[in-house]
Amino acid sequence: MMEQAVQAQERLPAGSVTPQEVFDLRLQATPSLFSTADMERFGERVAEIVTRAERLGDSARLSRAYTHSCEYLRSQHEYTRALEAGEKALGLAIGVGDADLKTRATFQLGCVYAWRGEEQRALEHFDAATAEPFILTEGAAAGSSSGFPYLPALARRVMALAGLGRFSEALPLAAYATALVEAGVQPAAFALAYVGGLCLAQGRIEEAISQFLHSLDVQRERGFQIARAFCTSSLAEAYAVCGRRAEASAILEETADWYRSMPGPAQRSLVLTRLGSALLLVDRVDDARRYGSRALDFTLRYGEPGSEANARHLLGQVMLHDALSSPELAEVEFREALGIATRLGMRPLAAHCRRGLARVSQRRGKHDDARDHILAATTMYREMEMFFWLDRTEELALESREALKRA
């Protein structure tokens, strides 16, 4: 509808609308291009509104334009330029004293760090973007965000906390985001996707599956693509983790061409890693290696340290599954991933790496080392209440004790 309005405005006689009106209508029409993943037209529109805002010399309008520029550049993995645009947007927002502009610019800056897998830096921005009081105002119009925290920032805050293993903080925020969705606040699909991500990270698999399916349903109903790749790949991994191989395999067939091209905007390295994990769990080891290697190449090319750690962890798992790979190669990947995860505060991933190193040590007959890694992993899982993974690691501990008895 908004694009039709833009086209109608273009047909009006010259001089019948002001430059400000031309800008404002195009600005209003811009978000739908992103949410429907029309990235070529989105990029063209962003370039247009930045040029128009610069000509107008209006700081508030320019802040909005730079915020969209940050969003577009991030979707193209041009992180340095995205940060520059976001900082310009934030500076202008602060200059005009507009809280809404400041929130949106801060949120987009956080998303840049989140896409790089730097969850702690991302969280600082999402905290700032959701700083207003958490009060669910009665009688608010459905779809309105007035009086609420900015829902996309709230959802991303949940996901950042999950990546850091701060589940006790994330869970109340996830419940609040869910309450906002139930009250009609939009965009629901975005919030549901990241609440699902929290559940998957903590090991509440069936709940994660429910959230991902709900988000995908909402996206289909509204013609959105904004979280499709994240939800679909995460759903495949969730199905595979809990042993629902048929459902996981169906998604993997559906997404077979995503190795080369996937629906955007997509955090490609994360999506490839999650699909790779699902492939490994359904015993497609060669495909899992291919996806993990491509994800790693992507993270190194674009500078995504957190995503690099996830990709290396996947490759370590692949090598453990492959009888032709030496456990020493798996150990290298797990240790590289562990070092990055520790530096970035990614405790769930660090625990998974410890679990992987325990399996490597068992394979090499180093049962004392295996015991130490298992103790470290189980301690972290227990502290973070990741009971699904704790149970699986305690099974590994039992195997290690039996091996010691036989030694």
Report the pLDDT value the prediction gives residue 4, as an integer from 0 to 100.
85
- Omega cis (within 30) before 133: no
pLDDT tens by residue, 151-184: 999 999 999 999 999 999 999 999 999 999 998 8
150 vs 100: CA distance, rounded Å: 9
| pTM of the complete model | 0.92
At 137, is the pLDDT very low, low, confident or very high (cuts 50, 70, 90)?
A: very low
Burial 247-258 (b: 16+ CB within 10 A, else e): bbbebbeebeeb
Taking the CB of residue 13, how many other CB atoms lie within 10 A of it?
Answer: 6
**Which among 263, 191, 273, 279 is positioned nearest to 229, based on CA atoms?**
263
297 vs 210: CA distance, rounded Å: 32
Report the pLDDT value the prediction gives residue 7, as an integer from 0 to 100.
82
By CB atoms closer than 10 A (0-12, 13-18, 19+), residue 333 is buried
Domains and CATH numbers, the chain: 1-115 (1.25.40.10), 148-226 (no CATH)
Report the pLDDT value the prediction gives residue 138, as an integer from 0 to 100.
38
pLDDT tens by residue, 39-98: 999 999 999 999 999 999 999 999 999 999 999 999 999 999 999 999 999 999 999 999
Cβ 63 vs Cβ 96: under 8 Å = yes
pLDDT tens by residue, 333-385: 999 999 999 999 999 999 999 999 999 999 998 988 999 999 999 999 999 99
By CB atoms closer than 10 A (0-12, 13-18, 19+), residue 50 is buried
Report the pLDDT value the prediction gives residue 322, as an integer from 0 to 100.
83
Alpha helices in 119-204 (DSSP H): 119-129, 151-163, 167-182, 188-202
